[in-house]
Chain A
Amino acid sequence: MARGGIDQLIGILTEQKGSIVEKWIQKIHETYPPETANFFRKERNKFANPVGSTIQEAAGPIIEELLEPRDSEVFYKHLDSLIRVRAVQDFTAYAALSIFFALKGAIRDIVGKQVRREGLEWALLEFESRVDRMTLLAFDIFMQCREKVWEIKRDDLLKRPFVLSGGMCASYMVRRGQKHLKKAKGSNNPSLN
């Protein structure tokens, strides 16, 4: 594949970026029930519509980074915000992450004809493997989020009165214990080293 092909494709995608972003957002919205999708689309106030605005704010920068990688931290931050929401919503793992495959669909919907006309199918495949790599990264983030939920559940258990009835909450005792240990260590107590 000649280098020129991918550059030409990126040129086309960049030109059509606005429509692609819009199409992708629409496809993400469609993973929710219709009345919810409608609300996510319409309500523009960031605080009155946290999920809709998260999607809105993340989609553009993610696509920009795919087109021209610049700042991996920004890329990661937006991916994280998008996945963090879906990781606790009523989705199975595949449904939560399906939105990244939907991006491929969005791109084909918008530029598919032009790609065929100009013989850029191979370039598109190459670009799609960028999307695939992002999906793998998204999978990592999804797993981190799920593990975090379990960690929170575990910590919550430590604060449950019914676990340790008749005393102080375990999380406090653990923290207290660690603090004393640290202090003792700091004072070079040989028995603790």
Chain B
Amino acid sequence: MKDLTPQEMLRIDLHPPKTPWMDIPVKIKPGVYCYPAKPEKLEVVGMPHPHKWSPLDDDWGLPEDWKEIVLNGMRERLEKYRSFKIFMDICVRCGACADKCHFFLGSGDPKNMPVVRAELIRSVYRGEFTRAGRILGRLAGGRKLTEDVLKEIWYYMFQCTECRRCSLFCPYGIDTAEVTIIGRELINLLGLNINWIQEPVANCYETGNHLGLLPHTFKQNIEFMCMDIEEFVGIKIDPPFNRKGAEILFVTPSGDIFADPGIYTLSGYLMLFEHLGLDYTWSTYACEGGNFGFFTSMEMAQRLNAKIYHEAKRLGVKWILGGECGHMWRVVHQYMATFNGPADFLEEPVSPITGTKFENAKSTKMVHISEFTADLIKHNKLKLDKSRNDHLKVTFHDSCNPSRGMGMFEEPRYIIKNVCNNFYEMPENTIREQTFCCGSGAGLNAGENMEIRLRGGLPRANAVKYVHERFGVNMLACVCAIDRAVLPASMSYWVPEVKVAGVSELVGNALIMEGENERSVDLRGEPIPGRGEEEVSEDV
């Protein structure tokens, strides 16, 4: 601590104060907060009050009537969302949720207890909107909205990944993730979004995907992976783009098109579709399954989601197949049909290979790639050589959204067990509904907040470490692009021996394709042990 004199150093007390949370002022720290949104990225989508500011400054450049804006926004949402009003009213502060959040568990900061996180906003609700709170103030758990309170809310709304683990344990079903969602909406009324969310939103609006890949780059990156496949597998693939009249539109998060190791999951998709001779198409317009709008406001989520149905209509496809993504599936499963449906120009999805009707997708017309692949395996439509994955000892991380958000637990496990011989589950209280978040979801996968990401990633990593030490697990499989982007960082800090892969990558490795090479390398171009090509010495 550079600002301590040697004398002060001698007097230092290392014990934190025993003060109630409301009296501990917020201290915004590097490594925890994300950089503010660039004004031009707010302007692109017409969001209010774009301005330059820094979380470390005293003056955040708020509009003069900021307090009124927030309180009006809150009033409006209390009327509009019954759930929000209920969540504000009924918490009995029983504490059942308190120790369930990965950010509390990893950081030890009591303000990361879900009950306190919600209380940051609830105290303002009481202090500004309820009679008891207005009169009794602190005695009734209320406080007024001040700049410091706003800063505190901002700081902690961006330390919640909206994972909903806490809600699983609340006897009243209070969903703190929804409180965070509203909290972020209020923050956005003042132009205080973080750039890591806002830039993808603006990109998605302008180019169709978070990364801002232009159509030719999007296409070129997919072709890149086709070149890899040709080299490693010996199969030439010429994927279809923007093809009108295809039966199926395939949409996946753009992380799969751009970033290592998601791109190997992309190879898996490409090979599977080629092998099946699937009548499908990619779109360079609806080229993002993810939806950072969902981390901004409901309205933005709706706007960005709309392009998927528009494109499906324009291309005249029958139904939509979706890739491995987390929050994309929460949006599809819980909101898409009401946001932008009914999609009655589409048909109820039927697998052209097995004839299976995906009745669960009747309303959205969108099927998850794991459901599709599991069905193929179940009907013996894939020839698989599991032994190609024998050097891998695999465990599966349930991503928060596909598990808690849509209830998908079995399909990925079924696939993994059919393409790998070595599969080990992590402890029960860390998987399925109770899964721990990767620690970087809901738009918090930036680089500048790495300390909080690593804190939040600890509970998941702790369980991975256990199966690594006990069974020698060396591969963490998942069905989410954010997981693939962030778990490698978390693993390299907590359990460096464990790598990360999408389930479809493991499928691609095991898939026996007609006319393929003798496989000596995997989809990453790395030698498969015992299959000929050994690693050339590392010292380049």
Contacts and interface: CB of A to CB of B under 8 A. Distances in A.
Interface of A: 30-36, 39-40, 43, 45-51, 54, 84-85, 88-90, 92, 94-95, 98, 102, 145, 148-149, 152-153, 155-157, 159-162, 165-169, 171-172, 175-176, 178-179, 181-183, 185-186
Contacts of B240: none
B146 interface: no
Given A85-B458, A88-B455, A94-B1, A45 B429 contact: yes
Nearest to B195: A162
A90 B109 contact: yes
Contacts of B510: none
Nearest to A167: B217
Contacts of A159: 259-260, 485
- For chain B, the bracket of interface size reads 35 or more
A26 to B, nearest CB: 12
28 contacts: A31-B15, A36-B108, A39-B98, A47-B427, A47-B459, A50-B458, A51-B108, A88-B451, A90-B32, A92-B1, A94-B12, A145-B493, A149-B450, A149-B451, A149-B454, A152-B454, A153-B448, A156-B450, A161-B213, A165-B212, A166-B213, A168-B221, A168-B224, A168-B258, A169-B260, A171-B260, A172-B263, A176-B525
Given A33-B110, A50-B106, A166-B214, A156 B447 contact: yes
Contact of A49 (B105, B214, B492): B105
B536 A185 contact: yes
The 10 A-B residue pairs with the shortest CB-CB distance in the complex, in nearest-first order: A161-B211, A50-B462, A186-B536, A156-B447, A36-B108, A172-B260, A88-B454, A92-B1, A32-B108, A169-B259
Nearest to B210: A161
B540 interface: yes
Contact of B258 (A40, A98, A161, A176): A161
B10 to A, nearest CB: 12
Interface in B263-301: 263
A165 to B, nearest CB: 6
Contact of A51 (B9, B106, B489): B106
Contact of B260 (A90, A162, A175): A175
A160 B260 CA distance: 11
Contacts of B16: 31-34
B107 interface: yes
A48 B108 CA distance: 13
A118 B199 CA distance: 69
Interface in B428-475: 429-430, 447-448, 450-451, 454-455, 458-459, 462-463, 466
Q: Which among B14, B450, B489, B537 has the greatest number of chain A C-beta atoms within 10 A?
A: B14
Nearest to B451: A88
B16 to A, nearest CB: 5
B339 interface: no
A30 B16 CA distance: 8
Q: Which among B12, B260, B451 has the greatest number of chain A C-beta atoms within 10 A?
A: B260
A157 B466 CA distance: 29
Nearest to A154: B447
A31 B258 contact: no
A92 B210 CA distance: 36
Contacts of B224: 168
A167 B199 CA distance: 17
A48 B429 contact: yes
B18 A89 contact: no
B314 interface: no
A54 B458 CA distance: 11
A160 B489 CA distance: 13
A33 B108 contact: yes
B225 to A, nearest CB: 9
A185 B538 CA distance: 11
A50 B450 contact: no
A149 B31 CA distance: 10
A155 B450 CA distance: 12
B536 A160 contact: no
A84 B105 contact: no
Contacts of B98: 39
B467 to A, nearest CB: 11
B29 interface: yes
Given A48-B429, A50-B105, A148-B492, A179 B525 contact: yes
A39 to B, nearest CB: 5
Interface in B301-330: none
B494 interface: yes
B540 to A, nearest CB: 5
B99 interface: yes
Contact of B199 (A152, A162, A182): A162
A100 B270 CA distance: 54
Contact of B212 (A32, A145, A161, A182): A161
Contact of A153 (B214, B258, B447, B463): B447
Nearest to A36: B108
A161 to B, nearest CB: 4
Contacts of A145: 493
A40 B108 contact: yes
Contact of B217 (A49, A85, A94, A166): A166
Interface string B2-21: 00000001001011101000
B15 A30 contact: yes
